[in-house]
Structure 1
């Protein structure tokens, strides 16, 4: 898949609408009971970039970005202002934010993940587009610094210089983007409509990496 490591302008994504989408297949039985199945292991996020447009200058920036991505052809980074850090939005990133692995004495590479907990249930989301320079890492509560670890911002793979001891928790804190593409090959608007408050719809959808 062709992906451009460039972020959609954050001042324009700030006003966008959207969020996670799940797919659930539901079959209602003759007795009224339901059988539910989830074919997707992970949610797919959708957004409308048009909701962030406030001026014709904004629209010009989006059209330039759209043309540079060739419409739906190339993916790009998107900042989801409702969920973009390993910690709550009001808090500061900490190397103990997320448990991403437990050492076995041999492995040195671990994918970044974010844990979503509610009650006794936990969903583990892969984080594949961390923001470069934002990642903090700790092993068994002790923060590491370069060159003791490195992170590939294009894949979210964390590599440690030495394998953690068996049973040692590997934790991380980070900011991250969502890999997306435009979900349309056409942007339709008019100057008169935009000046009258008509906002164009510019759908964006998450892509699997």
Structure 2
């Protein structure tokens, strides 16, 4: 899949609507009970970029970005203002926000960035594939490490590679900001100067992609 490592203008995504969706298959049995199953291990996010547009200049910026991506052809980065940090939106990123795992007997050096969503005894670990440059912080046993010296980060996949394998059983934690890999979910954008000034905005669906 073709993907451009460029972010949709954050000023335009601010105010957009959207969030995660799941796919659940529900079968109602003859006795009224249900059987529920899902073919998706991970959720998929959808947004509407049109809601964030506030001026005709914003419309022009959207069209330029749309044309550069050739509609649905190329994926791109999207800042989800409601969920773009390893911590709470009101907090500052620290290297202790998320657990990445522990050192292994086979001296594993590569670990995937993840973010955990928990409620009660249930949890979901979301792979983070598009971390933001300059925001990734890593610690082992509560000691923060230095990027490019102690570890490297692949910004296109969210994979952490340590210069030296962590000691067996050592706790590895991370903090970061991240984008969502998405594409336009439409090959046509329709705008009207008159209707936009009257408060109407174009419908610009955005959908998360697997990378």
Shorter-chain TM range is over 0.9
Structure 2 stretches of 5 or more lacking a match?
none
Q: Could you tell me how far 1:195 is from its partner in structure 2? A: 1.1
Q: Which residue of 1 aligns with 2:136?
A: 135
**CA–CA distance in structure 2, aligned partners of residues 135 and 202 of structure 1:** 31
Q: Could you tell me how far 1:12 is from its partner in structure 2? A: 0.7
Q: Does 1:161 align with 2:163?
A: yes
Question: Quick check: 103-112 or 61-70, which moved more?
Answer: 103-112
Q: Could you tell me how far 1:198 is from its partner in structure 2? A: 1.1
Q: What is the Cα-based RMSD across aligned positions, in Å?
A: 0.6
Q: Could you tell me how far 1:169 is from its partner in structure 2? A: 1.0
Q: Which residue of 1 aligns with 2:127?
A: 126
Q: Could you tell me how far 1:8 is from its partner in structure 2? A: 0.4
**1:46 alignment partner, SS class:** strand
Q: Which residue of 2 aligns with 1:197?
A: 199
**1:45 alignment partner, SS class:** strand
Question: Quick check: 67-76 or 187-196, which moved more?
Answer: 187-196
Structure 1 stretches of 5 or more lacking a match?
none
Aligned residues: 209
Residues 4-50 of structure 1: CA distance to partner in whole angstroms, max 9, x if unpaired?
A: 00000001100100000000000000000000001100000000000
**CA–CA distance in structure 1, aligned partners of residues 134 and 57 of structure 2:** 30
**2:178 alignment partner, SS class:** coil
**CA–CA distance in structure 1, aligned partners of residues 181 and 109 of structure 2:** 25
Q: Which residue of 1 aligns with 2:46?
A: 46
Question: Quick check: 69-78 or 105-114, which moved more?
Answer: 105-114
Q: Could you tell me how far 1:174 is from its partner in structure 2? A: 0.1
Q: Which residue of 2 aligns with 1:24?
A: 24
**2:126 alignment partner, SS class:** strand
The TM-score, its normalising length taken from structure 2, stands at 0.98
Q: Which residue of 1 aligns with 2:81?
A: 81
Aligned pairs for 1:53-132 within 5 A:
53-105=53-105, 106-132=107-133
**CA–CA distance in structure 1, aligned partners of residues 113 and 138 of structure 2:** 10
Question: Quick check: 179-188 or 99-108, which moved more?
Answer: 99-108
The TM-score, its normalising length taken from structure 1, stands at 0.99
**CA–CA distance in structure 2, aligned partners of residues 75 and 142 of structure 1:** 36
One of 151, 159, 167 as aligned partner of 2:153: 151
